[in-house]
Structure 1
Amino acid sequence: MAVSASPVISATSSGAGVPGGLFRAEPLYSTPREPPRLTPNMINSFVVNNHSNSAGGGGRGNTNTNECRMVDMHGMKVASFLMDGQELICLPQVFDLFLKHLVGGLHTVYTKLKRLDISPVVCTVEQVRILRGLGAIQPGVNRCKLITRKDFETLFTDCTNARVSLCCPGCSAVV
């Protein structure tokens, strides 16, 4: 059986019929340098423009559940979403900012929420991505819950009052 000869392409040739050749003269990657940083204006335009069409309206009107705003709470900026006319704030973020020094952990907060009859709203996948992108939650987090401002104030009051409890009537000992 005869073997047909195929053309040989050298590393320095232009690739004989292959667009752009097999090898590049310039490197694919430049030398390592500081990655570009997102400015707040870029983040806000991304959140508003790219996520405004992601909400599933389903005939409920023009409710956009993926539009995130940074709102002021007790002097700190907190991520919030407007859902069904209610402003909902990121529970892990307010825990990190306001509650973690008052209670044992996030599990304690969820126990308090149950006792206070507060039902957090579970974030959608897209909302979690937005919150991670804004730095409101840690990069590895894949679940998040939202609560209203009123519910947060109730929770915050409960957490601060739990620290000072009286051991007996008329006594002011901190337990």
Structure 2
Amino acid sequence: MAAPPLSVPGPSPPGGHSPPIFPSPPPTSRPPPFLPALYFSHAYNSPPPIHTSDPTANDCKLVEYRGQKVAAFIINNETMLCLPQAFELFLKNLVGGLHTVYTKLKRLGIEPLVCNVEQVRVLRGLGAIQPGVNRCKLLAVKHFDILYKDCTTAR
């Protein structure tokens, strides 16, 4: 025996269709698929990846910094350190994690640059970042010095 059809009490709307018994799920907080991801990048306070006409912006160098070799790019005549690698070398034992570093940078008013796809590929190839990592940020030496001082100064 089949169950009798469910009916919704009340008058039928025009067209003869009853309203759905189960309402649609609430809308999600995800952006609509037709809007580009960069439209929402402000939500995470990350600038878009580096766009430069300088063809050398993807040339990575190992620079001597605080007695260690650190992967870096020269962008607009400024040495930009690979932030995850610099964190591993200099800050890992001083702060809770990379998230703490980003919180400190925000408080200090320092905005790291987001690597472009080619820079991430180069950094992975050098071993500066883990093989599965698909994004990375760069920080100017002068800004890393400020961050390092903040992490090593007792409050």
Tell me the TM-score normalized by structure 2: 0.65
Note the C-alpha offset of 1:130: 0.3
User: Relative to 1, partners in 2 of residues 1:70 and 1:109: Cα closer, same or farther, differing over 3 Å?
Assistant: same
Note the C-alpha offset of 1:87. 1.0
1:118-137 equivalent positions in 2, closer than 5 A: 118-137=110-129
1:75 aligns with 2:67: yes
Question: Runs of at least 4 residues of structure 1 off by over 4 A?
Answer: none
Q: 2:83 aligns with which of 91, 104, 110?
A: 91
Percent sequence identity over aligned pairs: 60
Which residues in structure 2 correspond to 1:1-175 (within 5 Å)?
57=53, 62-161=54-153, 164-165=154-155
2:99 is aligned with what amino acid?
H
Larger radius of gyration: 1
Unaligned runs of 5+ in 2: 1-50
Equivalent pairs, count:
105
Q: Could you give the per-residue CA deviations for residues 92-121 of structure 1, whole angstroms, max 9, x where no partner exists?
A: 000000001000000000000000000100
In structure 2, how many angstroms separate the alpha carbons of the residues matched to 1:122 and 1:114? 15
Partner Cα separation in structure 2 for residue 159 and residue 143 of structure 1: 24
Aligned equivalents of 1:113 and 1:140: distance in 2?
Answer: 24
